[in-house]
Chains A and B, each alone.
Chain A
Amino acid sequence: MKEEMVEADVLCIGGGVAGLMGAIRASELGAKVVVAEKGNTLRSGSGATGNDHFMCYIPEVQEKELDRILRSRYLSWRIRSRDFLNLWLEKSGEMAKLWDSWGIPMKYNGQYEFSGHAIPGEPLVLIHYAGQDQKIILTKKALSKGVKILNRVAGFELLRDGSIVGALGIDTREDRLIIFRAKSIILGTGIAQRLYPGPTPGWLFNLAFAPTCTGDGQSLAFRIGAELIGAERVHRHRGPKYFARCGQATWLGVYKDADSNPIGPWPTKIDRRYSPILTELAPEVIEEYAKSGKGPVYLDSAGISDEDYEYMKHWLRNEGNAGILNYMDEEGIDTRKRPIEAMRYGPIGGGTIRINVKSETSVNGLYAAGDNGYGIGEMPGAATHGWIAGESAANYAKETESPSMKRVEGTIEEKKRLLQEIQTREAGASWQEVNIAIQQLMADYAGYAGGVGAGSVRSQIMLMTGLTYLRRLKEKAYNTMVARNQHELMHCLEALNLLDLGELVFTATNERKETRGPFIRSDYPFTDPALNNKELILKKEDDKVVTRWEEIRR
């Protein structure tokens, strides 16, 4: 394997929205910045072909509503604690305006279009924006600031000698190892998918978020001792049955049963400002309807005006759903005449990296932003935390000497051996075998509310049994995996990352000995008030996972 050394003040692993925002800001502040991206930053990550909602506070428009906004249901879901809420109030509007000035259209017909993720009476806290080309615009901005972008490079290990000293990456097309010597690193690798099965068994890439996002950042950070949170919580997205995509709040219509009767009061008639959020407020309804014999749940746009139907399609396209819209056109599927069946997709989980309002992790020189580091959620989180991570990392790099790699040489050699073994084994397990084996263990032993059969049971004995099996699988994966080319090597490394996250999920789920909202334990059916406003922190110490609870300031 060829080797190449790359030097950086700030290395961004993951060139999605968060990574590029960090890169742009750090470069503006004078840092030498390199972005390592598995795909191509022009169209990579979950925002590849767009997003259409941006949760923000724009004082000149919303100031009179501030008291209501602060009590918003949506904000309480998407913002981790009070200090992040203050950060969102201070920065999210600024980020929206910055993007608008760069050419990402944040206004609709010249105005901020507040809409979606609310029922009548609730404050609107998201603007519709036209994000189809956001990645192209951010990439051009980064290049114009002097950022060096290495596309088709997957970061797979962080190097730490007390503080961050660098990272290792592989070229996903050519046989090449990249050794990064970096003063600081921003992880922006997205959400953790492919840990649990998606809607189509064995079809590993039919997922709502980008299937390349496999929790690499979470796993890399965890392996060098950074703290993670929330590994016991899983998220299940909703959308058209079997065609997994985000955009549930962009569809306009009413959720109805098989006899075309509206289900639930949210809403019963179409209003473009208020999404049909039955599936957001009561996602379990979809599965409960089927289980109780009431049949499927449909999204029905009957009665919508032509303008509103076009409005919906405009935003769905900007939400990254050109693929679905083109398909509907080809197939003649029109939700005004043909209500489409809805479903809850498989769980996404594995925890996020614990960050503070400066996007700092618990490791010196390591920062996280976007879906892999939760403070403010979703797109404004990627923008704001990315931007702030860029500032924090650039300032840290200014005060830091070029790191010595001497004490991590052993780790580099060990990882090189791992790559070589995977590349040269004559026969063994493919990455798909490992990934599918992980998914079935997660679904059956760390199941989720709404699952069927064994998958709906989560109890200490099931979790600990699953953990034993997963560790056995991990050993086999390390000792038998085979890659025939660099693309497969990338997937093998992703699978090894998923194995780490799986262990975290089992451990964290076992630690939360209660039932709380969508988090259900078969052996602890009650909510434990002692855990109100607490989050579970996980960390690796002496090769073991240690946990502790900490208060969240609301």
Chain B
Amino acid sequence: MPPVIDKEKCTGCGICVDICGQDVFFGSKDGELPVISYPEECWHCAACVIDCPTQAVRLRIPLPMMMLYK
């Protein structure tokens, strides 16, 4: 569930933890790989994706939100 963090790329800078409007990273510790405590509270605004300095974050869109097309 969103967001998904690439452990190889993440430097633990904490920007995503700092900025998330919904605080899905609640409980993360400084300098460590962020924990995703409340994935179901993600708004998919992509702030963490946009602001990650090492492009380590992507969103995995949950299946109930799968876009429907012809």
A interface with B by C-beta (< 8 Å): 39-40, 42-45, 48-49, 132, 152, 172-173, 200, 203-207, 210-212, 240-245, 258, 296, 298, 320, 322-324, 326-328, 331, 333, 335, 338-341, 485, 487
28 A-B pairs within 8 Å (CB atoms) are namely A42-B51, A43-B45, A43-B47, A44-B21, A48-B43, A173-B23, A173-B26, A203-B64, A205-B22, A205-B41, A205-B42, A206-B64, A207-B43, A210-B21, A211-B43, A212-B21, A212-B43, A241-B68, A242-B66, A298-B69, A322-B46, A326-B49, A327-B67, A331-B67, A339-B69, A340-B68, A341-B69, A485-B26
B19, B21, B38, B50: the one within 8 Å of A45 (CB)? B21
CA of A35 to CA of B69, assembled, Å: 43
Given the interface pairs A43-B47, A323-B44, A323-B59, the reply to whether A206 lies near B65 with Cβ below 8 Å is yes
Pick from B22, B26, B47, B66: contact of A211, CB under 8 Å: B22
Please judge, given known A-B contacts A205-B41, A322-B49, A487-B26, whether A341 and B68 are in contact too, CB under 8 Å: yes
Are B65 and A200 in contact, CB atoms less than 8 angstroms apart? yes
Residue of B23, B44, B59 with highest tally of chain A CB at under 10 A = B44
Cα(A335)–Cα(B67), bound, Å: 11
Asked whether A323 and B67 contact (CB < 8 A) given A152-B23, A212-B22, the answer is: no
User: Of all chain A residues, which has the CB nearest B64?
Assistant: A200
In this complex, what residue of A is CB-closest to B37?
A487
* CB-based nearest B residue for A242: B65
Further 20 A-B residue pairs, CB within 8 A, beyond A39-B22, A323-B45 = A39-B20, A40-B19, A40-B20, A40-B21, A42-B19, A42-B51, A43-B47, A48-B21, A48-B45, A49-B50, A203-B64, A207-B43, A243-B65, A322-B50, A324-B67, A327-B59, A327-B67, A333-B69, A340-B69, A341-B69
By the criterion CB–CB under 8 Å, are A240 and B67 in contact?
A: yes
Contact B47 A48 (CB under 8 A): yes
Contact B61 A49 (CB under 8 A): no
Whether B67 and A243, one on each chain, are in contact in the complex, defined by CB atoms closer than 8 angstroms, is yes
- Which partner residue on chain A sits nearest B44 by CB separation? A323
The number of residue pairs between A and B whose CB atoms lie closer than 8 Å in the complex comes to: 119
Q: List chain A residues, Cβ under 8 A from B23.
A: 39, 152, 172-173, 487
Q: Is the interface of B mostly helix, strand, loop or mixed?
A: loop
Q: Is the CB of B40 within 8 A of A203?
A: yes
Minimum distance in angstroms from A204 CB to a CB of chain B? 8
The 3 A-B residue pairs whose C-beta atoms are closest, nearest first, are A39-B21, A323-B44, A323-B46
Could you tell me the distance in whole angstroms from the C-beta of B55 to the nearest C-beta in chain A?
A: 11
**Interface contact B40-A205, CB-CB below 8 Å:** yes
Neighbour of A43 across the interface among B19, B58, B68, CB < 8 A: B19
Q: Which residue of B lies closest to A244 (CB)?
A: B65
Q: Which of B23, B38, B42 has the largest count of A CB atoms less than 10 A from its CB?
A: B23
B41 touching A211 by the CB < 8 A rule?
Answer: yes
Contacts of A211 in B (CB 8 A): 22, 41, 43
The interface residues of chain A lying within 8 Å CB-to-CB of B19 are 39-40, 42-43
Q: Report yes or no: A49 in contact with B46, Cβ–Cβ below 8 A.
A: yes
Residue in B closest to A327 when the chains form the complex, CB atoms: B61
Query: Do B65 and A210 touch (CB < 8 A)?
Result: no
CB distance from B23 to the nearest CB of A (A): 6
Residues A324 and B44 in contact, CB atoms below 8 Å apart: yes
Cα of A333 to Cα of B69 in the assembled complex, Å: 8
Looking at the assembled complex, report how far the CB atom of B22 sits from the nearest CB atom of chain A, in whole angstroms.
Answer: 6
